[in-house]
Amino acid sequence: MKSLKVGLAGAVLTATLCGTAYADKIVLDVTAWKGNEAEPAGLPELIEKFEAENPEIDVEFSYISRLDTDVVLPPRLQGNNAPDVMMTDMPLVKIWSEAGLLADLGKDSPWYGNIEPALQPSVTAGEAVYIMPLEVIGMGNFVNLSLLKQAGVEDIPTTLDGLKDACGKLADAGIKPLVFTGSFSAPLFVIANGIERADGQAAPYGSPDKTFAGDAAFGSVLDTVRELIDARCLDPKGQAGLDPWSTALTAFKSGDFAMMPQGAWNIADFSSVADLDFAFAPIPSGKDTGVALDLFGIGWSVSANSQHQEAARKFVSFFSEEENLQIMLDAESAYSPFVGGQSGTSDVTKPYDASRAEGGVIMYPFAVLDWPKPLEKEIWDSLTGFLLNTDRSNDEVLERWDEAVEDS
């Protein structure tokens, strides 16, 4: 009986010690709009690896969509239950840092000096750094190679003339040429071609000093959209309200369309579809290279109110280590934001990679704060309206963009 009591006491002691050890662990609250089943971005694997290497820290991960992030997190950041680490982008960083809600990660952080020189100014606010970049990801043109071959199109179109020619052949073969959703694909095409025609100068349009209305570059792109319609590339009214995040993706995966401007983050999902032979190419434009529309999409920020600043910064720095970041880059088919960093791209992205190498890169202006965020939604809405009624004048569409800039 005595031995039984000793055994029970030992069990209680063991349980108590284990409980104390667990209670002493730092619980790091991390939020992100990636890491779910649809878009894992390598986060489940990376969080498990971080916890294994840092047994004193437990990561409590919460998936919050990008749209919900704008609504859900501000009250938490301003209250007593702020997350420790949050996935952010530059529009969020601008608002939250100016409100004093983000911690300055410091130019003395070991990773800061390794950021690509072209990107470094975009993530720096004066002498402060509120975000550690994770990836640069392409937005280009997905192409179903089997459908192109079936229609007798030998080369992936990177020029506007090549695109029109491909559309004609595809239409003749009874194949729908182009997904051109008003709320994503069409804006990518118009923004890429408009900035290219403006000699790559996006920033001036982000202030009231230079207007879209009356501008030759962007006005001519709307004319080009009309030309694509005449070339049988798209049915504008059928495309206007197509959901770019569900219906459009399903239509391309199912082989219903030959081409679709979208983001490279879809590559992993498309690659899982049996017999879908596709490539990721630049957006066709007036130049032979097409446009590689690069998006500085995401990074990690630390809450100014985090009670675990050291652990939070350790988590952020963990992702700057090449072997760790590579897991995310591979999952996202993205490019490293660091000098000498490897990309996560593959044979699928060779046409897009070639455009980048040949000087076809244009940075997506909203991601680097060249254009105010409210303008993005206005472009989506106004181009949807334009596809529903292409008889409206160019300035009627573009004046709405100028109003969005003035109101920002």
Instruction: Say yes or no to pLDDT of 204 above 90.
Output: yes
- Taking only the tens place, the pLDDT of each residue in 235-293 is 999 999 899 999 999 999 999 999 999 999 999 899 999 999 999 999 999 999 999 99
164 and 57 both lie in a single domain = no
Tell whether 263 is covered by a domain.
yes
Tell whether 6 is covered by a domain.
no
Share of the chain above pLDDT 70, in %: 94
| CA distance linking residue 26 with residue 12, whole number of Å | 24
Tell whether 13 is covered by a domain.
no
- Mean pLDDT, residues 178-205 taken together: 97
110 and 214 both lie in a single domain = no
- Taking only the tens place, the pLDDT of each residue in 373-406 is 999 999 999 999 999 999 999 999 999 999 999 9
β-sheet bridge partners, residue 248: none
Tell whether 339 is covered by a domain.
no
Q: Are 85 and 76 in contact (CB under 8 A)?
A: no
45 and 83 both lie in a single domain = yes
232 and 288 both lie in a single domain = yes
H or E stretch covering 59: strand 57-63
* pLDDT attached to residue 118: 84
Tell whether 17 is covered by a domain.
no
309 and 287 both lie in a single domain = no
* pLDDT attached to residue 152: 98
H or E stretch covering 140: strand 132-144
- Mean pLDDT, residues 321-331 taken together: 95
Look at the chain and report how many structural domains it folds into.
Answer: 2
Q: Are 194 and 221 in contact (CB under 8 A)?
A: yes
Instruction: Say yes or no to pLDDT of 77 above 90.
Output: yes
177 and 111 both lie in a single domain = no
Instruction: Say yes or no to pLDDT of 327 above 70.
Output: yes
Instruction: Say yes or no to pLDDT of 158 above 50.
Output: yes
| Phi/psi at 82 (5° precision) | -65, 140
Radius of gyration of the chain (CA): 24
* pLDDT attached to residue 241: 83
50 and 112 both lie in a single domain = yes
Tell whether 70 is covered by a domain.
yes
Residue 24: pLDDT band (50, 70, 90) is: confident
Token pair 């219906």: residue:
247
* pLDDT attached to residue 151: 98
171 and 266 both lie in a single domain = yes
Tokens of 54: 């840092």
| Phi/psi at 178 (5° precision) | -140, 125
Of 281, 306, 332, which residue sits at a domain end? 332
* pLDDT attached to residue 59: 98
* pLDDT attached to residue 20: 43
Specify the pTM.
Answer: 0.83
Q: Any alpha helices (H) in 34-85, and if so which ranges?
A: 43-53, 66-78
Residue in 384, 345, 363, 386 with CA at minimum distance from that of residue 185: 384
Q: Are 316 and 132 in contact (CB under 8 A)?
A: yes
Instruction: Say yes or no to pLDDT of 21 above 60.
Output: no
Instruction: Say yes or no to pLDDT of 9 above 70.
Output: no
| CA distance linking residue 76 with residue 357, whole number of Å | 43
* pLDDT attached to residue 137: 93
- Mean pLDDT, residues 72-90 taken together: 94
119 and 155 both lie in a single domain = no
* pLDDT attached to residue 134: 97
Tell whether 206 is covered by a domain.
yes
The contacts of residue 34 (CB under 8 Å, 6+ apart) are 40, 41, 43, 63, 87, 298
β-sheet bridge partners, residue 338: 115
Strand pairing class (128-129; 132-144): unpaired
Tell me what the pLDDT averaged over the chain comes to.
Answer: 92
- Mean pLDDT, residues 104-115 taken together: 96
| CA distance linking residue 358 with residue 396, whole number of Å | 36
163 and 124 both lie in a single domain = no
- Mean pLDDT, residues 147-154 taken together: 98
* pLDDT attached to residue 51: 98
- Taking only the tens place, the pLDDT of each residue in 292-314 is 999 998 999 999 999 999 999 99
- Taking only the tens place, the pLDDT of each residue in 115-146 is 999 899 989 999 999 999 999 999 999 999 99
* pLDDT attached to residue 19: 43
Strands of 271-365 (E only): list them.
278-281, 292-302, 361-363
362 and 258 both lie in a single domain = yes
Residue 2: pLDDT band (50, 70, 90) is: very low
CATH number at residue 216: 3.40.190.10
Q: Does residue 118 or residue 164 have the better pLDDT?
A: 164
Domain encompassing residue 308: 26-137+296-332
| CA distance linking residue 30 with residue 24, whole number of Å | 18
Q: Are 173 and 315 in contact (CB under 8 A)?
A: no
73 and 110 both lie in a single domain = yes
Tell whether 327 is covered by a domain.
yes
CA angle 287, 224, 205 (to 5 degrees): 75
| CA distance linking residue 387 with residue 233, whole number of Å | 13
DSSP code per residue over 275-295: T--EEEEPBPBSSTT-BEEEE
As to burial, measured by CB atoms within 10 angstroms (0-12 exposed, 13-18 middle, 19+ buried), residue 213 is middle
